[in-house]
């Protein structure tokens, strides 16, 4: 799970453990794992229905990681002396509150 979280720019991921006539949802993130109580078919279907409708922030996508603009790519490659096949991602660091 750590490899998947690290390579897909996700804040968390879900697994579904199905045992006979019940299931458990498992949420994995950088700090640990949360496991639900046993759930039945209708609750599992409801989870997937709601999960499909939520935005990327709730759907585990790390929205601070994006593809840089072409100009940013060119500047980064030139400044860092990078070859063309080095993949680049842009990470936005939220500004802290100033008091």
Buried/exposed 55-69: b ≥16 CB within 10 Å, e otherwise: eeeeebeeeeeeeee
- Partners of 27 in the beta sheet? 14, 34
Q: What is the pLDDT of residues 31-59, one digit of tens each?
A: 888 999 999 878 888 888 888 887 766 66
pTM assigned to the model: 0.55
According to DSSP, residue 62 is labeled -
Q: What is the pLDDT of residues 12-34, one digit of tens each?
A: 888 889 898 889 989 888 788 89
Name the token pair of 75: 């500047």
């Amino acid at each position: 799970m750590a490899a998947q979280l690290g390579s897909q720019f996700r804040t968390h991921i879900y697994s579904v453990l199905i045992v006979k006539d019940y299931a458990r949802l498992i949420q994995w993130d950088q700090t640990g794992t949360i496991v639900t109580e046993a759930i039945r078919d209708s609750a599992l279907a409801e989870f997937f229905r709601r999960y499909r409708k939520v935005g990327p922030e709730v759907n585990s996508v790390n929205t601070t990681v994006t593809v840089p603009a072409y100009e940013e790519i060119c500047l980064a490659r030139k400044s860092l002396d990078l070859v063309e096949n080095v993949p680049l991602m842009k990470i936005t660091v939220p500004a802290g509150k100033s008091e």
